[in-house]
Structure 1
Amino acid sequence: MAQNPAPQPALSWSIVGQGAIGLLAACRMQQAGFDVSLWLRTPRLLTIKFAHRQLQFQPASAPISAVLIPVKSYAVTEAVQTLLPAMASDAQLVLSHNGMGTIEQVKPMLAPGHGLWFLTTTHGALKQPDTVQHTGTGSSTLAALNNAAKVKQQQVLQAMDIALGPVTLTDNIQPALWQKLAINAVINPLTALYNCRNGELAAQKYHQHIEALVTEVCKVAAACGYPMSAHSTLQTVLRVISSTAQNFSSMQQDLAHGRRTEIDAITGYVVQQAAHHNISVPHNQALLEQILLRQQQRY
């Protein structure tokens, strides 16, 4: 009589950086009993206040068996390059960021035994000095991107469900990424351009512009093999604007504080794929140029 396989032991996890979502994941995992460390540019002990408790995180050290990489899209490849010498031969890497384009960059960098994943999330978090707050309860979608990831599927799913769950496991992350890209391509650059909270985009004066941006993104997604209804996508974008009305988008915050934005991986990716498929996207093109100009002036 066949027996059920024994549960696989939990992995030790490292979280890259000290961004809000990464620290939220780290705190939730440590509270659930996971062994969690932080991979920082300058290794040090970090104390974070979360849910009225003080949590301490040791600096990560080799060999790293599993790592969540919730950094800005433009910092992903550098983070992976830095991690590679410290990673175990069967290490699992989970990418999580806004925008698209990094999967194709990271895959060739990895050894055959390295598992690669992507997690997209709707959770919200706010980081203040030595404190992280869970500002928006959400959910996540997770996908294995190569065969080496599927070997450790049970352990990675278990950990990410604690970190940023509930998690839905999918065989193909691309539809979820295009859906989130459509949302980000509206809310992030428009709030950055007009220096406003998300909710201000619900004003009638922005509706035509939002509809045009969504229509263009949906045309590009369809050309890339991931058709989306422009009407339902627009409704989703408007719901997110309403449900996050009091929030400032990450791009608005980055531009307001003179930091580099993720515009290249969001609107830039739409424009790049549009050019590849010979599709005109004048509204996204104009918005890309406006944000790049503002970024150049401030960054």
Structure 2
Amino acid sequence: MSAGSPRIAVLGAGAIGSLFGGLLTTHARVTLIGRAPHVDAVRANGLLVESGSGEALFRPHAETTLPDESWDCVAIAVKTRGLRNACREVAALTTPPGIVLLLQNGEGIESVAAETLPSETLARAIVYEGASLRRPGVVTRFGIGKTYLGAPLAPGEQSETLGEIVQLLERSGLPARIAHDIKREIWRKLIVNAAINPVGALAGVVNGVIIRSGALRKLLRSVIDEGQAVAFAETGYRFDLVEKTEEIANNTAGNRNSMLLDLATGRKTEIDFLNERIVHYAARHEIPVPVNRHLAAAVRAREDANES
């Protein structure tokens, strides 16, 4: 990382990308890359971050395309459906960035990025923050969660840089740590997302309602049980994530999860990197996962209906 203020580009200035980019401006030179209405609002009025503790205004740079400049870090925060295009933008830079940080949910993200970018430059950020882009230029933060960093394809390659990024995140009000086993954290978050996202999306409710509804809570626990069985068969990791998942849903009680927003606006979801990954590995080990299978099929049906 550069001495002084590192140069960071956040490619995909949605809710999480804007939250990270905004807070990081206190200790870095940040450029948000997003859609024109959001970029125009940030340029005109700054980025307003709302939270339970009040409001804060930040003034990152904002662009609609990734400037061909030298970046210490490019954080890719687009949805999984846009990951390949985002990686091609990064690959086209004249000077390769020092590190590319992937903020997507799901298992297998880094392998998609490695189709275009050198694996030794890639790192994952497993994010437990909850945020919503309320309107262009305004982000609401729902609860504070920790972010875990690691390089699953090249362990040890980016250890010094990742340590610097962790310090930068911490100083900026984003709790973070290095994950000693990032693949374990990827699977942990996979199960959490696979439980909360499709259940909330198909029911059309915010996260807190899932916990208050007996039927939805039972469904969430079934997804977790199946996911944990598959994780153990595939990786040997043992998880006990019911309490953790319900805590996350409570901490982000007012949040409409990203899959719910995708279905509501007619966009493709991330189901292929969540429940469908569990179904994929379950088939390899001949483990029945009827709840994950049915949820994935229901989400796909909603996607098809949106396109018809």
Please confirm whether the aligned pair reaches a TM-score higher than 0.5, indicating the same fold.
yes
Deviation at 1:184, TM superposition (A): 1.1
Structure 1 window deviating more from structure 2 (86-95 vs 63-72): it is: 86-95
Structure 1 window deviating more from structure 2 (78-87 vs 146-155): it is: 146-155
Deviation at 1:199, TM superposition (A): 2.0
Within 1, Cα distance between the matches of 2:3 and 2:163?
Answer: 7
Deviations 1:76-123 (A, max 9, x none): 2221112112163452100011112111222343247x5211111111
Secondary structure (helix, strand or coil) at the match of 1:109 reads coil
Deviations 1:116-144 (A, max 9, x none): 11111111222112222323222111113
Mapped contact 1:9–1:155 kept (Cα < 8 A): no
Secondary structure (helix, strand or coil) at the match of 1:14 reads strand
Q: 1:122 to 1:87 in 2, by over 3 A?
A: farther
Match of 1:244 among 242, 252, 268: 252
Mapped contact 1:23–1:132 kept (Cα < 8 A): yes
Deviation at 1:269, TM superposition (A): 1.1
Rg (Cα) greater in structure: 1
Q: 1:151 to 1:239 in 2, by over 3 A?
A: closer
Within 2, Cα distance between the matches of 1:273 and 1:77?
Answer: 23
Structure 1 window deviating more from structure 2 (171-180 vs 50-59): it is: 50-59
Q: How many residues align?
A: 289
Deviation at 1:239, TM superposition (A): 2.2
Mapped contact 1:263–1:288 kept (Cα < 8 A): yes
Mapped contact 1:65–1:87 kept (Cα < 8 A): no
- Does residue 34 of structure 2 align to residue 36 of structure 1? no
Question: Which ranges in structure 2 are unaligned for 5 or more consecutive residues?
Answer: 49-54
Within 2, Cα distance between the matches of 1:235 and 1:58?
Answer: 39
Secondary structure (helix, strand or coil) at the match of 1:18 reads coil
AA of the residue aligned to 1:79: A
AA of the residue aligned to 1:210: L
Q: 1:164 to 1:223 in 2, by over 3 A?
A: farther
Within 2, Cα distance between the matches of 1:261 and 1:38?
Answer: 23
Residue 175 of structure 2: aligned partner: 166
Report sequence identity in percent: 25
Q: 1:69 to 1:191 in 2, by over 3 A?
A: same
Q: CA RMSD in A?
A: 2.5
Deviation at 1:295, TM superposition (A): 1.2
Match of 1:191 among 178, 188, 200: 200
Deviation at 1:56, TM superposition (A): 4.3
Structure 1 window deviating more from structure 2 (206-215 vs 256-265): it is: 206-215
Within 1, Cα distance between the matches of 2:115 and 2:146?
Answer: 29
Q: 1:90 to 1:70 in 2, by over 3 A?
A: closer
Secondary structure (helix, strand or coil) at the match of 1:86 reads coil
Residue 147 of structure 2: aligned partner: 140
Query: Following TM superposition, where does structure 1 have runs of at least 4 consecutive aligned residues deviating by more than 6 angstroms?
Result: 41-45
Match of 1:83 among 83, 90, 94: 90
Q: 1:156 to 1:44 in 2, by over 3 A?
A: same
Structure 1 window deviating more from structure 2 (158-167 vs 79-88): it is: 158-167
Q: 1:104 to 1:291 in 2, by over 3 A?
A: same
Residues 102-141 of structure 1 correspond to what in structure 2 (within 5 A)? 102-111=109-118, 115-127=121-133, 128-141=135-148
Within 2, Cα distance between the matches of 1:234 and 1:211?
Answer: 6
